[in-house]
């Protein structure tokens, strides 16, 4: 069965347009409630959200759906996605929901679902939920006396703050470090500055005044220029840029130079291997990660296992191979010793721990390999299957042959936007851009 609603990271779209409408949210709540309503215990679902205006529309619609299926709803308000995953498991909920479109602009929103174990749902479970929606759920509504209840829980922010702080090595402190943190006007706008300050840092907070419209707007991990500028202006030691739901992070060194997720994984993997904490003999990264990371790990006797794009696919590989570090170049990094999904704050703290322990500057500690030149371009399309076009297949095959000596080509559809993503790597920068121009031009022609 092909999935109609779910993409690589839950359901996502423009708010108040299908599928991101109150009606669909109601049906998702009902269908997910039906699927996870097992046994005779009192069922509970936890719902968190980021700071988008449309959260006020989707939250009550989902709540109504779950209540109609006999599930009690715990509303926690704006919290990072990893906090929802953690709380779902620690509070023994049957299901967790995060309302967020991650790094997308405020006009978009999304529904991410977590099982009772705190893991994102498998493809099979998502297909089962869609099947419930399409084949009728009204016959399964509970009688009036079995309706669920909804309540707001006020102490959850403190629970998450203490959880994140506990991942920082005991005996270490951030005292003496000045840190700029850009909260992207999103879900971590309160917890991120508090965590860093309580660990001893001097904190300069940006993007901590959400108004429903400014999430990810010229701020956060997708637009980190202001964070980098403030690092230099305030002579900070370290900069942190989170995305709208704080499950990914980019950092800047003391010069305001960005460090991506590949470098961060390399830093932490090397440190954990040296202290005996790394499991699996390496890490998991996606097909998008730079080949330079793979070469760096190989020189240290470590492996890099690649998964398809999407943090839940990273985690599946981590579980099957016994790895405790995995992630994406975008800064979506998972530490399975602590979490079941990416957590930007925990990732930042692991890097800060290396800096605090070693006494090195961020510019020295966070650049562990020289990346192979890599360029990613996006081609927007309006439906159809441009990658099935014979002209597109031909130009791709030709490019693969030309890049075969030390280069790499990856072309895929985005799981969250109507885009074809074209990524190429090569030591030959001129060849790299020529190949990308040719491929993108042919795809663009086929897409219109």
Catalytic residues, by residue number, are 102
Among 117, 111, 67, 110, residue whose Cα is nearest residue 88: 117
Residue 380, Cβ neighbours under 10 Å: how many?
A: 12
| Cβ neighbours around 255 below 10 Å, total | 11
444-448 long-range Cβ contacts below 8 angstroms, 24+ apart: 444/379, 445/391, 446/384, 446/386, 446/389, 446/391, 446/392, 447/379, 447/380, 447/381, 447/382, 447/384, 447/386, 447/420, 448/381, 448/382
* Cα gap 393→387, rounded to integer Å: 7
Helix (H, G, I), strand (E, B) or coil at 315: helix
Could you tell me the two tokens for 28? 């998702």
The number of residues in the chain equals 448
Give the HSE-up count for residue 160: Cα atoms under 13 Å, Cβ half-sphere: 32
Query: What is the rounded distance in angstroms from the CA atom of residue 321 to the CA atom of residue 315?
Result: 10
With beta carbons less than 8 A apart as the criterion, state whether 232 and 326 touch: no
**365 Cβ neighbours under 8 A, 6+ residues apart:** 267, 351, 354, 355, 358
Please, are residues 37 and 71 in contact by the beta-carbon 8 Å criterion?
A: yes
Q: Percent helix, strand and coil across the chain, each rounded to 5?
A: 40, 20, 40
Instruction: Compute CA 344 distance to the chain's CA centroid, rounded to the nearest angstrom.
Output: 8
Phi, psi (5° rounding) for residue 262?
-60, -45
Contact 248, 186 (CB under 8 A): no
């Amino acid at each position: 069965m092909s999935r109609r609603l779910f993409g690589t990271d839950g359901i996502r779209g423009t708010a108040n347009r299908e599928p991101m409408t109150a009606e669909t949210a109601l049906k998702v709540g009902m269908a997910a409630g039906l699927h996870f309503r097992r046994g005779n215990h009192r069922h509970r679902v936890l719902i968190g959200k980021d700071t988008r205006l449309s959260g006020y529309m989707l939250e009550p619609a989902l709540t109504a759906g779950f209540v109609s299926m006999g599930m009690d709803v715990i509303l926690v308000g704006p919290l990072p996605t990893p906090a929802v995953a953690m709380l779902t498991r620690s509070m023994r909920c049957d299901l967790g929901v995060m309302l967020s479109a991650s790094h997308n602009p405020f006009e978009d929103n999304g529904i991410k679902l977590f099982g009772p174990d705190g893991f994102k749902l498998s493809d099979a479970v998502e297909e089962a939920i869609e099947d419930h929606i399409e084949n009728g759920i009204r016959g399964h509504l509970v009688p009036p006396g079995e309706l669920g209840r909804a309540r707001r829980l006020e102490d959850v922010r403190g629970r998450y703050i203490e959880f994140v702080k506990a991942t920082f090595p005991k005996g270490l402190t951030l005292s003496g470090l000045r840190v700029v943190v850009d909260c992207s006007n999103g879900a971590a706008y309160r917890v991120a500055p508090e965590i860093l300050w309580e660990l001893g840092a001097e904190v300069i907070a940006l993007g901590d005044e959400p108004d429903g419209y400014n999430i990810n707007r010229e701020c956060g991990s997708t637009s980190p220029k202001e964070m980098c500028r403030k690092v230099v202006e305030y002579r900070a030691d370290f900069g942190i840029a989170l995305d709208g739901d704080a499950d990914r992070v980019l950092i800047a060194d003391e010069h305001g130079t960005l460090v991506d997720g590949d470098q961060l994984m390399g830093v932490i993997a090397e440190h954990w291997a040296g202290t005996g904490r790394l499991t699996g003999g390496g890490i998991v990264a996606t097909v998008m990660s730079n080949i330079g990371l793979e070469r760096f790990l190989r020189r240290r006797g470590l492996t890099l296992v690649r998964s398809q794009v999407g943090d839940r696919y990273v985690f599946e590989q981590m579980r099957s191979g016994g790895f405790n570090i995995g992630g994406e170049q975008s800064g979506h990094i998972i530490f399975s010793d602590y979490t079941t999904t990416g957590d930007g704050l925990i990732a930042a703290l692991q890097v800060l721990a290396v800096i605090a322990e070693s006494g090195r500057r961020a510019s020295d500690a966070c650049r562990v390999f020289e990346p192979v030149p890599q360029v990613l371009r996006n081609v927007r399309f309006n439906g159809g299957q441009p990658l099935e076009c014979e002209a597109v297949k031909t130009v791709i095959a030709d490019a693969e042959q030309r890049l075969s000596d030390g280069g790499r080509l990856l072309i895929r559809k985005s799981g969250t936007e109507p885009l074809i993503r074209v990524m190429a790597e090569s030591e030959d920068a001129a060849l790299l851009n020529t190949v990308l121009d040719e491929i993108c031009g042919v795809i663009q022609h086929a897409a219109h």
